[in-house]
């Protein structure tokens, strides 16, 4: 096949990790006979610097035309002044919204090879395999917000419609059928009206459309605890935008590093957007120490979900497991032991392929 892949390296370590993922995709093309055409565009802080806009129209147009989009990271201290009119993060939120990417799949797998990299005890993390389904284009990220009293008061509204809840819960239910058949919906229904609607709608969809799938609800504060005390009990976890953002950073400690977790943002047709769940890590940018595996695994998700190349995706995932089994570690998962750099890790994955 011939696929167009837009690369959005962004800020901080973004360009470094995207470069490694590109190498892995090129190696995949070479061994499979597919052709991947790459185009690189601006997003985030670098786009603000060069065009004044965190999501330039030319970037959005290229993304609409692509088969898949691979993003590095956006943000950094240079653009973090609370008084700044435009922030890099606005570019990421805008592309998610513009492309209708409402379903964010964030798999959390604890590799046997890495059990010692987790701050949690091996018997707790062994075998963990959770798929977070985070709603990505609604909730408090996109509700009304503003300031009053000359800026002395500020508000951000969490709003969900029935249709938004239904469609994300369906994604979770369908994913559970392909996995271990269980959905956990996370909300704060004991306090928030918006969560009471979430719980009512989610329960109705699960009962009516997924009677074969085991279903439970958990409050978000309790989930923060259960995720560390009994992560092995969860299969698919569906939740809103903000709770999903927070719980998946927490969940990254199960495998042991934020540098290991990929994500896919999908809509109804159209290109998907694939990115590591980590940020731009400005403190280590340019030092060849970032872990590229999250982005490499995001590239594998792109092959699976947007290009239909399941075998090629699985081959990349197997290569990553192989390099971990062979003992290759970037600093974030080395626990103070010997480590290799970003580029060497990318090379190791290519060699394993």
List residues with catalytic annotation. 141, 188, 221, 245, 249
Q: Give the shortest CB-273-to-ligand IPM separation in angstroms.
A: 10
The one-character DSSP state at 263 is: E
- Choose, by CB under 5 A, the member of 53, 135, 245, 332 that binds Mg ion: 245
The one-character DSSP state at 55 is: S
Q: What tokens were used for 93?
A: 């939120």
Q: What tokens were used for 181?
A: 């058949």
Per DSSP bridges, beta strands 129-135 and 103-109 are: antiparallel
Q: Give the shortest CB-136-to-ligand IPM separation in angstroms.
A: 7
The one-character DSSP state at 211 is: T
Quick one: residue 15, left, alpha or beta (phi over 0 = left, psi -120 to 50 = alpha)?
alpha
Nearer to ligand IPM, 259 or 279 (CB): 279
Residues 6+ apart with CB under 8 A from 239: 132, 133, 134, 135, 185, 186, 187, 220, 223, 247
Nearer to Mg ion, 45 or 56 (CB): 45
Distance separating alpha carbons of residues 87 and 318, to the nearest angstrom:
37
Letters for 88-107 (x = contact with ligand IPM by CB under 6 A, - = none) are -x--x---------------
Q: Give the shortest CB-260-to-Mg ion separation in angstroms.
A: 14
Nearer to ligand IPM, 75 or 240 (CB): 75
Q: Answer with the entry of Mg ion, ligand IPM, none that 89 interacts with (C-beta below 5 to 8 A by kind).
A: ligand IPM
**What sections of 86-161 are H helices per DSSP?**
88-98, 122-125
Q: Answer with the entry of ligand IPM, Mg ion, none that 260 interacts with (C-beta below 5 to 8 A by kind).
A: none
Give the Cα-Cα-Cα angle 21, 25, 30 (nearest 5 degrees): 145
Distance separating alpha carbons of residues 190 and 29, to the nearest angstrom:
51
- Choose, by CB under 6 A, the member of 245, 317, 332, 347 that binds ligand IPM: 245
Binding of ligand IPM by 277 (CB under 6 A): yes
Nearer to ligand IPM, 72 or 231 (CB): 72
Nearer to ligand IPM, 56 or 76 (CB): 76
Q: Give the shortest CB-294-to-Mg ion separation in angstroms.
A: 12
Question: Is there a contact between 288 and 330 (Cβ–Cβ < 8 Å)?
Answer: no
Distance separating alpha carbons of residues 48 and 54, to the nearest angstrom:
5
Q: Give the shortest CB-249-to-Mg ion separation in angstroms.
A: 6
Question: Is there a contact between 276 and 73 (Cβ–Cβ < 8 Å)?
Answer: yes
Residues 18-77 that bind ligand IPM (CB under 6 A): 74-75
**Total residues at interface with Mg ion (CB under 5 A):** 1
The one-character DSSP state at 179 is: T
Binding of ligand IPM by 11 (CB under 6 A): no
Binding site for ligand IPM (CB under 6 A): 74-75, 89, 92, 245, 277, 279
Binding site for Mg ion (CB under 5 A): 245
């Amino acid at each position: 096949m011939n696929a167009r892949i837009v690369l959005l390296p962004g800020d901080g370590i973004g360009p470094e990790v995207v470069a490694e993922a590109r190498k892995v995709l090129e190696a995949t093309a070479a061994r499979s006979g597919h052709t991947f055409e790459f185009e690189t565009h601006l997003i985030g802080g670098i786009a603000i610097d060069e065009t004044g806009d965190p999501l330039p129209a030319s970037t959005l147009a290229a993304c609409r035309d692509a088969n898949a989009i691979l993003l590095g990271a956006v943000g950094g201290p240079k653009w973090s002044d609370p008084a700044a009119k435009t922030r890099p993060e606005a570019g990421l939120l805008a592309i998610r919204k513009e492309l209708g990417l409402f379903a964010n799949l964030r798999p959390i797998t604890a590799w046997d090879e890495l059990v010692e990299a987790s701050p949690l005890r091996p018997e707790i993390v062994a075998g963990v395999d959770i798929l977070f389904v985070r709603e990505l284009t609604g909730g408090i990220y996109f509700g009304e917000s503003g300031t009053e009293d000359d800026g002395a008061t500020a508000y951000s509204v969490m709003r969900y419609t029935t249709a938004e809840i239904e469609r994300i819960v369906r994604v979770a239910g369908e994913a559970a059928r392909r996995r271990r058949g269980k959905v956990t919906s996370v909300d704060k229904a004991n306090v928030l009206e918006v969560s009471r609607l979430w719980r009512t709608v989610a329960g109705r969809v699960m009962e009516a459309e997924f009677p074969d799938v085991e279903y439970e609800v958990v409050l978000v504060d309790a989930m923060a605890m259960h995720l560390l005390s009994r992560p092995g009990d969860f299969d698919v976890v569906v939740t809103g935008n903000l709770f999903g953002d927070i719980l998946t950073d927490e969940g990254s400690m199960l495998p042991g590093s934020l540098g290991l977790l990929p994500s896919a943002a999908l809509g109804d047709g159209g290109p998907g957007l694939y990115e590591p769940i980590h940020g731009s890590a400005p403190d280590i940018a340019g030092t060849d120490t970032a872990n590229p595996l999250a982005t490499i695994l995001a590239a594998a998700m792109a092959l699976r979900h947007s290009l239909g190349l399941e075998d090629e995706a699985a081959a990349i995932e197997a290569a990553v497991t192989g390099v971990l089994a062979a003992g290759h570690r970037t600093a974030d998962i080395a626990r103070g032991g010997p480590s290799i750099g970003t580029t060497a890790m990318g090379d190791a994955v290519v060699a394993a392929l």
